Amino acid sequence: MPPKAGAQGRNGQQSKPSKMTLGDFMVRAAPSVAVGSTAPPPQNSAPVLGGYRVHGTKKGSIPLSTESRAKGKKVTVLRNVDGDMQALLKDLKESLGTGGLAHENGTELEIQGEHEDRIAAFLKKKGCLVGVKGCGKAAEPPPKLKPKAAPSAPAVPPTPVAVATPDSKDQ
């Protein structure tokens, strides 16, 4: 029978805790929220329209890219998708008239063809972008500053001063 975690061994030192599997860690680290509870959503989450949202990149752009596949085929990849990916994929395929697939990793969609501009317009129209510059509530422009007045010139121009030089002779 292995010693309990925290129990002292023969040398008076504490023994090592039993090894924990990833599953054990996930169960212990998961928040204790009952299934089906009406816990409020996290504060930083935007309302989910259509059951999905797309999070912006670290620099605040839409996570879209075009990649080449076998035989020169192009696909547009949409990353950082959260929520119902199948609903988003269905809406995109209907809107664009193309095929596509959802990756197994759960955060990427592939749409056949080069459609970055059309997908960006679709996502902006749906309002499902989170953390993307230029989307959402428009920021008020900063107040305009009055330009500084240039130093005013004197009202009366200075009178020229005659300077006598040693070469000049009075005639």
Q: Sketch the domain layout of the chain as residue ranges.
A: 52-130
Instruction: Residue 89: count other Cβ atoms within 10 Å of its Cβ.
Output: 20
Residue type, 44: N
pLDDT band at 16 (very low <50, low <70, confident <90, very high): low
Give the class (CATH, top level) of 52-130.
alpha beta
Q: What is the mean pLDDT of residues 108-116?
A: 94
Work out the widest C-alpha separation in the chain, in whole angstroms: 128
Q: Count Cα neighbours of 27 within 13 Å in the Cβ-side half-sphere.
A: 5
- Alpha-carbon Rg of the chain, whole angstroms? 34
Tokens representing 128? 């499902």
CA distance 171 to 137: 83
Q: Which residues contact 138 (CB under 8 A, 6 or more apart)?
A: none
Q: What is the mean pLDDT of residues 102-121?
A: 91
Helices 116-126 + 85-96 axis angle, to 10: 120
Q: What is the pLDDT of residues 22-63, one digit of tens each?
A: 666 655 655 544 444 444 444 444 445 568 889 999 999 999
pTM (2 d.p.): 0.52
User: Comparing 92 with 4, which gets the higher pLDDT?
Assistant: 92
Q: Which residues contact 163 (CB under 8 A, 6 or more apart)?
A: none
